[in-house]
């Protein structure tokens, strides 16, 4: 077999088992080259995947998937897993419309046993599978692959507590690379760093006992006296004692790029009856110097030039995240009560600049959204002004805290919901299309969305002045390139903005404002007169303006980049019903309640008729319906 052709011969994990360790090392290099080639064209999670190539090969060499269950936490490190489980030929379609998902997908392959895109869930899932296996008296291995960043999430510790209690046969592979997306923070990260930098696992206690027992008369007394001393020093000599005390056997640290060591340890772990944790040390971005040097930048990379690492076709317009970050910095310069909080998303949320300029007022809590919200509440109750930046799809993990711990007490906190609306490339788990639904009905919660990046900065300033919790949702990606005001303006609470006069009303929210304005201009040529209003608020609504247009025989259309059931349009309809305005025509345009595919924003909007052409057609069809009064 030619070394350069090893990957061509791999059709399934079974093909790995006939390879030597040397062959596997060559295969790892070929897989890295393939990952680099595809991600440089399509974009994707580069650093985490380059870091787990050997680990993945070792797992599939030792375990017998899909009979043995491998559960990937987060799942953004599953590219090697996909390549060697029959999806190599389709790997070039990674993160493309109708292509391979960048996360595990049960609909894609029997080797993907659980769909995941959020962190900290694998331990709970794996324990459930292990318990089910034993109750059914079946015989297979369950393996959870968990990053050290995922252990900052509370649900992971709830699972560890139960794992230690039940003592079911379960293998936990802890992939330690000191990173989530940003560098990991907190006491746990320091502890794991201590384990890696300290002594390797030594069975010193057993050796000492053996020697002392051989000493006549004095051996056992020395052992008894020594137990007190042992408690004081065993943390130094026994890495992983914390896990051991939980009832979980600890093995490590293990060099995560040594396939031979990994295979040996995985085989050993299979022989244990109870839970075992294997602590593997890997390097994020391994094999590609730019990703090794700057793993955060290449965690989720845009298409780039392999030779230089430079991003292709860079758009010079500011992203909404950049505008958000700069605005919070500008406000914090004048107001020392402003603090910023994020959940392991320092760069993604645009708070890097804030963390540099105000390190004593910046807090990265790790992948712990629930804690982030309650932590902010504690700060707000003592006079500070917290700005909590969490992606739309991740904030829903803290729903109970939003309701019980913030809204019921009307605590003023600003929530910045980046990645709201349709999110490209990452698939269903990352779509920020339900935030209006889960926020709008919470008591005291203000829900806002800017029409552009300039209005975003005014909303942030305004939200910090409102005496209530306020959520600002904005999309991933570039703004419109509009002129930016130097002085921030106060937006009156619950007041919209009339952009175009007309007979009927087109009430647009957030990213749908400019498309609605363009469509309304075109519809004038069709004899349809629509006033266009930038709603600004989904809660509270501008009721006065809505009632001005809610006259008998008139029509009201709403537009939002979110699910309409329970969303912005639903809120407008509910208000009209409360006011008994049943004699108007009403249409809500947005997203139906469904699971949305992976693809670019333009592709998904076109498919859902939410692009400008689709919006034009939907409104025109609405007016052409026989019972519409024009």
Over range 428-440, report the average pLDDT: 91
Per-residue pLDDT tens over the stretch 489-518: 999 999 999 999 999 999 999 999 999 999
User: What pLDDT, on a 0 to 100 scale, did the predictor assign at position 425?
Assistant: 81
User: What pLDDT, on a 0 to 100 scale, did the predictor assign at position 185?
Assistant: 56
- 557 falls within a domain: yes
Last residue of a domain, one of 436, 457, 473: 473
Q: How many CB atoms lie under 10 A from the CB of residue 306?
A: 14
100: alpha, beta or left? (left if phi > 0; alpha if psi -120 to 50):
beta
* Coil, helix or strand at residue 298: coil
Last residue of a domain, one of 473, 508, 541: 473
Per-residue pLDDT tens over the stretch 533-558: 999 999 999 999 999 999 999 999 99
User: What pLDDT, on a 0 to 100 scale, did the predictor assign at position 232?
Assistant: 40
* Residue 4 reports pLDDT greater than 70: no
Q: Is residue 500 flagged as an active site residue? A: no
User: What pLDDT, on a 0 to 100 scale, did the predictor assign at position 207?
Assistant: 46
Which of 420, 609, 392, 417 has the alpha carbon at shortest distance from 515? 609
Q: Do 260 and 398 belong to one domain?
A: no
Contacts of 44 (CB under 8 A, 6+ apart): 38, 79, 94, 95, 102, 300, 301, 425
Q: Do 33 and 116 belong to one domain?
A: yes
Q: Is-contact 577 485, C-beta < 8 A? A: no
Q: Do 257 and 368 belong to one domain?
A: no
- 303 falls within a domain: no
Banded model confidence at residue 627, pLDDT cuts 50, 70, 90:
low
User: What pLDDT, on a 0 to 100 scale, did the predictor assign at position 210?
Assistant: 54
Give me the CATH number covering residue 534. Answer: 3.40.50.920
Last residue of a domain, one of 276, 293, 310: 293
Per-residue pLDDT tens over the stretch 144-187: 999 888 888 888 999 999 999 999 999 999 998 865 455 555 56
Q: Is residue 600 flagged as an active site residue? A: no
Residue 410: φ, ψ to 5°: 55, 50
* Residue 428 reports pLDDT greater than 70: yes
- 332 falls within a domain: yes
Residue 292: φ, ψ to 5°: -65, -40
Q: Do 183 and 258 belong to one domain?
A: yes
Cα gap 288→32, rounded to integer Å = 9
Q: Which residue has the higher pLDDT, 528 or 208?
A: 528
* Residue 568 reports pLDDT greater than 60: yes
- 232 falls within a domain: no
Structure token digits, residue 262 = 């990994």
Portion of the chain with pLDDT greater than 70, in percent = 88
Q: Do 45 and 92 belong to one domain?
A: yes
User: What pLDDT, on a 0 to 100 scale, did the predictor assign at position 225?
Assistant: 47
User: What pLDDT, on a 0 to 100 scale, did the predictor assign at position 370?
Assistant: 93
User: What pLDDT, on a 0 to 100 scale, did the predictor assign at position 61?
Assistant: 97
Q: Do 366 and 452 belong to one domain?
A: yes
Over range 12-22, report the average pLDDT: 94
- 210 falls within a domain: no
Q: Find the catalytic residue in 284, 361, 419, 536.
A: 284
User: What pLDDT, on a 0 to 100 scale, did the predictor assign at position 63?
Assistant: 97
DSSP secondary structure letters along 562-594: EE-TTSHHHHHHHHHHHTT--SSEEEEEEE-SS
Q: What is the CA radius of gyration of the chain?
A: 28
User: What pLDDT, on a 0 to 100 scale, did the predictor assign at position 203?
Assistant: 40
Q: Is residue 369 flagged as an active site residue? A: yes
Q: Find the catalytic residue in 369, 453, 455, 560.
A: 369
- 483 falls within a domain: no
Q: Do 122 and 270 belong to one domain?
A: yes
Over range 580-585, report the average pLDDT: 92
Q: How many CB atoms lie under 10 A from the CB of residue 277?
A: 23
Q: Do 424 and 560 belong to one domain?
A: no
- 211 falls within a domain: no
Residue with token string 């080797």: 111
- What value, to the nearest 5°, has the Cα angle with vertex 221 and ends 218 and 222? 80
* Residue 117 reports pLDDT greater than 70: yes
Q: Do 602 and 507 belong to one domain?
A: yes
DSSP secondary structure letters along 64-82: -TTTSEEEESSSTT-HHHH
Per-residue pLDDT tens over the stretch 319-333: 999 999 999 999 999
User: What pLDDT, on a 0 to 100 scale, did the predictor assign at position 298?
Assistant: 85
Model confidence, pTM: 0.84
* Residue 199 reports pLDDT greater than 70: no
Give me the CATH number covering residue 78. Answer: 3.40.50.970
Per-residue pLDDT tens over the stretch 66-79: 999 999 998 889 99
Residues in the chain: 630
Q: Do 183 and 282 belong to one domain?
A: yes
- 227 falls within a domain: no
Q: Structural domain of residue 171, as residue ranges?
A: 3-201+239-293
Q: Is-contact 48 76, C-beta < 8 A? A: yes
Q: Do 195 and 148 belong to one domain?
A: yes
Number of domains in the chain: 3
Portion of the chain with pLDDT greater than 90, in percent = 69
Q: Do 375 and 255 belong to one domain?
A: no
* Coil, helix or strand at residue 505: strand
Q: Which residues pair with 506 in a beta bridge?
A: 532, 557
Q: Find the catalytic residue in 32, 87, 95, 397.
A: 397
Quote the mean pLDDT of the chain.
88
Per-residue pLDDT tens over the stretch 248-299: 999 988 999 999 999 999 999 999 999 999 999 999 889 999 898 888 888 8
Banded model confidence at residue 1, pLDDT cuts 50, 70, 90:
very low
User: What pLDDT, on a 0 to 100 scale, did the predictor assign at position 198?
Assistant: 46
Which of 28, 46, 27 has the alpha carbon at shortest distance from 37? 46
């Amino acid at each position: 077999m030619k070394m350069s052709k090893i990957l061509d011969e791999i059709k399934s994990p079974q093909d790995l088992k006939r390879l030597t360790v040397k062959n596997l090392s060559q295969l790892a290099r070929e897989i890295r080259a393939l990952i680099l080639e595809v991600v440089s064209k399509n974009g994707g999670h580069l650093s985490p995947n380059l870091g787990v190539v050997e680990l993945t090969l070792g797992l599939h060499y030792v375990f017998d998937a899909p009979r043995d269950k491998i559960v990937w936490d987060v799942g953004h490190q599953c590219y090697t897993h996909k390549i060697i489980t029959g999806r190599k030929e389709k790997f070039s379609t990674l993160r493309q419309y109708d292509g391979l998902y960048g996360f595990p997908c049960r609909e894609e392959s029997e080797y993907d046993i659980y769909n995941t895109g959020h962190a900290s869930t694998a331990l709970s899932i794996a324990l459930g599978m292990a318990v089910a296996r034993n109750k059914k008296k079946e015989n297979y291995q369950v393996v959870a692959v968990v990053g050290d960043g995922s252990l900052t999430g509370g649900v992971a510790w709830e699972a560890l507590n139960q794992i230690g209690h039940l003592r079911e046969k379960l293998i936990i592979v802890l992939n330690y690379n000191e990173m989530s997306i940003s560098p990991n923070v907190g006491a746990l990260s320091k502890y794991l760093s201590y384990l890696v930098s300290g002594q390797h696992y030594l069975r010193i206690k057993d050796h000492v006992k053996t020697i002392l027992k051989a000493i006549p008369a004095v051996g056992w007394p020395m052992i008894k006296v020594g137990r007190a001393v042992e408690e004081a020093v065993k943390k130094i000599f026994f890495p992983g004692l914390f896990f051991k005390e939980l009832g979980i056997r600890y093995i490590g640290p293990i060099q995560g790029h040594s396939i031979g060591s990994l295979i040996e340890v995985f085989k050993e772990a299979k022989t244990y009856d109870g839970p075992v944790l294997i602590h593997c040390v890997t390097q994020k971005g391994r094999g590609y110097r730019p990703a090794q040097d700057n793993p955060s930048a290449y965690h989720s990379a845009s298409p780039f030039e392999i030779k230089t690492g430079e991003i292709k076709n860079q758009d010079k317009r500011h992203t909404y995240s950049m505008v958000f970050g700069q605005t919070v910095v500008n406000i914090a310069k004048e107001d020392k009560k402003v603090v910023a909080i994020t959940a392991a998303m320092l760069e993604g949320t645009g708070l890097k600049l804030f963390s540099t300029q105000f390190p004593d007022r910046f807090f990265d809590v790790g992948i712990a959204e629930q804690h982030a919200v309650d932590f902010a509440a504690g700060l707000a109750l003592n006079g500070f002004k917290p700005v909590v930046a969490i992606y739309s799809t991740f904030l829903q993990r803290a729903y109970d805290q939003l309701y019980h711990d913030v809204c019921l007490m009307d605590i003023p906190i600003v929530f910045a919901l980046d990645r709201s609306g349709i999110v490209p490339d990452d698939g269903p788990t990352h779509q920020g299309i339900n935030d209006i639904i889960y926020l709008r009905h919470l008591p005291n919660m203000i829900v806002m969305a800017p029409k552009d990046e300039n209005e975003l900065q005014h909303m942030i300033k305004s939200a910090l002045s409102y005496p209530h919790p306020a959520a600002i949702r904005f999309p991933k990606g570039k703004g419109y390139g509009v002129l930016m005001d130097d002085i921030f303006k106060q937006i009156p609470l619950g007041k919209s903005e009339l952009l175009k006069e007309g007979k009927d009303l087109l009430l647009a929210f957030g990213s749908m404002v400019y498309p609605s304005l363009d469509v309304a201009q075109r519809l004038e040529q069709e004899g349809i007169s629509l006033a266009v209003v930038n709603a600004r608020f989904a809660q509270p609504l501008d009721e006065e303006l809505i009632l001005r247009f809610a006259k008998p025989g008139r029509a009201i259309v709403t537009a939002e980049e979110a699910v309409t059931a329970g969303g912005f349009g639903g809120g407008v309809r509910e208000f009209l019903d409360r006011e008994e305005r049943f004699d108007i025509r009403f249409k809500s345009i947005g997203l139906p309640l469904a699971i949305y595919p992976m693809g670019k924003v333009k592709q998904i909007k076109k498919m859902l008729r939410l692009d400008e052409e689709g919006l034009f057609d939907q409104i025109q069809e609405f007016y052409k319906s026989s019972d519409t009064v024009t």
